């Protein structure tokens, strides 16, 4: 081999070695498994801004959107097509875990990805347009009792989704048959809120953080109740809980990230350590609060155990409502 060829071969091997040992934090992507504007988008943008603020990334994190099946398309893509992409994280929520419990992600289950970090929690909320005649949860319940066909509920996800279950739990707590509800399914929270403001649906059983963000941005909506154990801090502090209004319904919504099943232990640990450091900073707490999320920091093995327990709990809730349950 000539000297020139040996030099080229050595250079190529050196570049290959560098690529193999490149940090997953150099080129990063966060996949939001829905269209822009909903809770997944909020979750990705929280990571995007906080990781940059913490100077943890090489280049700015790219946020991309992969709608379909309320997370199913993204989950299947990561597991089957992109399992080893160490720089790619995917947003998930309690709704994702509920869908896994019902087998809505196809042949894959909660054991098929690596659960990375939970960065906060949200709570269910009953939301109406500013112009709505419903001023309290009791007003809404009375209207549904009087004529279920005249009140249209909108939600991100089909029957069995967490938004549907929040509405169904409200109906059941009021002594109503959830099957009597008129229900319109949307791909994500952004679409549902747009439909609410346009008068196409009358109620959105969504999330408190989503509602808070939209209100800050000028959306003409109002929150009738939050599904928390106590009133929330911040802009929604004056909104009563469902329990205060006579309906004992609580629905916490964890928000976080997972990575592909073939991401190496070393790269996974790097992500875990990075999130732990980031979530310990005052800057992250401020960014989380600004997005209406409440403290819930959990990573790695602890989060994995938590997720598997929640999926088991959701299987029981789904079975109670006669929904399909994954084996």
Would you list the domain boundaries of the chain? 24-121+253-320, 123-251
What pLDDT does residue 11 have?
Answer: 42
What is the pLDDT confidence band of residue 209, given thresholds at 50, 70 and 90?
confident
DSSP 108: -
Q: Tell the residue number behind the tokens 């990375």, with chain if given.
A: 116
pLDDT: is 260 or 104 the higher one?
260
Predicted local distance difference test score (pLDDT) of residue 9: 46
**Residue 305 token pair:** 């155990």
Q: Look at phi and psi of residue 103 and say left if phi exceeds 0, alpha if psi is from -120 to 50, else beta.
A: left
Domain 24-121+253-320 bears CATH identifier 3.40.190.150? yes
Evaluate if residue 325 carries a pLDDT over 60: yes
d(CA 58, CA 27): 7
Task: Check for a shared fold between 24-121+253-320 and 123-251.
Answer: yes
* Predicted pLDDT of residue 274: 98
Percent of the chain with pLDDT over 70: 94
Instruction: For residues 96-112, give the mean pLDDT.
Output: 93
Residue where the block lists tokens 């029981």: 316
Across the range 289-311, mean pLDDT stands at 94
Of 163-177, 271-285, 307-321, the one with minimum mean pLDDT is 163-177
Other beta carbons within 10 angstroms of residue 295's beta carbon come to 11
> How confident is the model at residue 238, as a pLDDT?
95
Higher pLDDT, 267 or 145: 267
pLDDT over 70 at 67, yes or no:
yes
- pLDDT value at position 155? 83
Has residue 7 got a pLDDT over 80?
Answer: no
Question: For residue 33, what is the DSSP state?
Answer: S
* Separation of CA 175 from chain center: 29
Check residue 20 and give its pLDDT: 47
- What is the token pair recorded at 249? 């319904």
| Residue closest to 108 by CA, chosen among 223, 217, 260 | 260
Q: Which residue intervals of the chain are DSSP H helices?
A: 3-20, 39-53, 72-80, 94-101, 137-146, 162-173, 189-197, 208-216, 265-279, 282-290, 300-320
Contact 235, 211 (CB under 8 A): no
* pLDDT for position 10: 46
The CATH topology of domain 123-251 is: D-Maltodextrin-Binding Protein; domain 2 (3.40.190)
Is 50 exceeded by the pLDDT of residue 15?
A: no
Q: Is the pLDDT of residue 157 over 80?
A: no
**CA distance linking residue 103 with residue 108, whole number of Å:** 8
Confidence of residue 70 (pLDDT cuts 50, 70, 90): confident
Q: Which residue in the block uniquely carries the two structure tokens 């079975």?
A: 319
Mean pLDDT score of the chain, rounded to an integer?
Answer: 89
Rounded Cα–Cα distance for residues 291 and 43 (Å): 9
Q: Which of 74, 98, 32, 148 is nearest to 254 (CA)?
A: 98
Q: Which two tokens stand for residue 57?
A: 């990334």
In the structure encoding, which two tokens stand for residue 233, read together? 């801090």
Give 174's contacts (C-beta < 8 A, 6+ positions apart). Answer: 141, 144, 145, 247
Task: Tell how far CA 106 is from the center of its chain.
Answer: 19
Phi, psi of 204 (to 5 degrees): -125, 120
Position 19 scores a pLDDT of 44
Q: pLDDT value at position 159? A: 82
């Amino acid at each position: 081999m000539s000297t020139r060829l040996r030099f080229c071969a050595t250079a190529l091997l050196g570049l290959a070695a560098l690529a193999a040992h490149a940090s997953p934090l150099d080129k990063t992507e966060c996949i939001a498994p829905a269209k822009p504007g909903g809770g997944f988008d909020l979750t990705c943008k929280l990571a995007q801004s906080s990781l940059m603020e913490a100077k943890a990334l090489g280049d700015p994190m790219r946020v991309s959107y992969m709608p379909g099946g309320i997370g199913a398309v993204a989950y299947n893509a990561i597991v089957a097509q992109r399992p080893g992409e160490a720089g790619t994280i995917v947003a998930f929520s309690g709704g994702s875990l509920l869908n896994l419990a019902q087998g809505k992600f196809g042949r894959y289950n909660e054991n098929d990805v690596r659960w990375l970090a939970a960065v906060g929690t949200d709570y269910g909320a009953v939301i109406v347009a500013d112009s709505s005649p419903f001023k309290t949860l009791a007003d809404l319940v009375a209207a549904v009792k009087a004529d279920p066909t005249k009140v249209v509920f909108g939600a991100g996800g089909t029957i069995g989704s967490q938004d549907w279950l929040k509405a169904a739990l409200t109906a059941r707590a009021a002594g109503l048959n959830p099957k009597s509800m008129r229900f319109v399914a949307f791909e994500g929270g952004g679409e549902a809120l747009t439909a609410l403001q346009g008068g196409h649906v009358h109620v959105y059983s969504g999330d408190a953080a989503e509602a808070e963000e939209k209100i800050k941005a000028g959306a003409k909506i109002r929150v009738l109740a939050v599904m928390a154990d106590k009133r929330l801090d911040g802009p929604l502090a004056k909104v009563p809980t469902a329990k205060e209004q006579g309906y004992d319904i609580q629905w916490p919504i964890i928000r976080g990230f997972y990575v592909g099943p073939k991401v190496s232990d070393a790269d996974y640990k790097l992500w875990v350590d990075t999130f732990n450091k980031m979530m310990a900073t005052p800057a992250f707490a401020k960014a989380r609060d600004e997005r209406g999320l409440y403290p819930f920091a959990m990573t790695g093995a602890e989060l994995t155990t938590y997720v598997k327990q929640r999926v088991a709990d959701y299987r029981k809730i789904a079975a109670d409502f006669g929904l399909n349950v994954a084996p």
